[in-house]
Amino acid sequence: MKELFISIFLLFPLINLHAQSNFKFEIGVGYTSNIITINELQYWDKGYVLIINNCLSLKSTFELTQTFSYQNYYFNNSSYSLGLVLPAEYGIKYGETNGESSQLYEISLGIRSLTPLYFFKTFASVRAGVIFIDQGVISTSVEIIGNGDSKIINYKGGGEQIIRGLVSVGLGTIFILSENLNLVLEGKITTTVSDIVINASVTSNLQYSF
């Protein structure tokens, strides 16, 4: 499934390559945070994002964008609870809980509305698309003690793979570094359209204009 998402991005043309002067390519990195705690990522809270944008300028104040992003969220051990009904015996001793990171893969289309200034531009952005969630596996052990003997039960959770629609809004600034090279800073809030996953991210992209 991950390979399919990457292939779609590489094969999906947003721009007419003959319009070289209107095409911009961005690559960047940033910080992302899961800002609600009841969803497919309730045990994964913070991480990083890698992003690629293709931009097509329709005029000086309006751009179409195609985005592919990879997001990695780290497991938060302190947020994890078994959520299971355990046998009511003499005693329970919890073992260590371990969890893998979760990954998200996004493909989306969007628009930017820009306000040109002298040394930089500001913009508002809106995107819509799909996101593939690859949950990490969580494992923990419980030792149940009673009547002079004990037994250890191992539990596993997570490991699901889920596809959701998404919408996103953002604000950003484009700093002009040279004739063809810009620095793009953007903050975004993204939400899925069902079984809500909401995250906030801040990215820093290098933009090259053709």
DSSP 149-194: EEEEEEEEEE--EEEEEEEEEEEEEEEE-SSSEEEEEEEEEEEESS
pLDDT band at 91 (very low <50, low <70, confident <90, very high): low
Mean pLDDT of the chain: 82
State the pLDDT at residue 2.
61
Model confidence, pTM: 0.80
CA distance 49 to 104: 9
Task: Answer yes or no: is pLDDT of 65 > 80.
Answer: yes
Select the more confidently predicted residue: 36 or 111: 111
Q: Among candidates 207, 164, 166, 173, which has minimal Cα distance to 189? A: 166
CA distance 105 to 162: 11
* Domain range 2-11+28-77+101-133+160-209, its CATH number among 3.60.70.12, 1.10.3720.10, 2.40.160.20, 3.40.50.12780: 2.40.160.20
CA distance 188 to 202: 7
Range of lowest pLDDT (27-41, 57-71, 91-105, 157-171): 91-105
Locate 15 and state its tokens. Answer: 């721009």
State the pLDDT at residue 56.
92
pLDDT band at 21 (very low <50, low <70, confident <90, very high): low
CA distance 150 to 111: 60
- Output the CA torsion sign for 38, 129, 102, 44: negative
Q: Give the residue extent of every domain in the chain.
A: 2-11+28-77+101-133+160-209
Q: Among candidates 123, 122, 134, which has minimal Cα distance to 72? A: 134
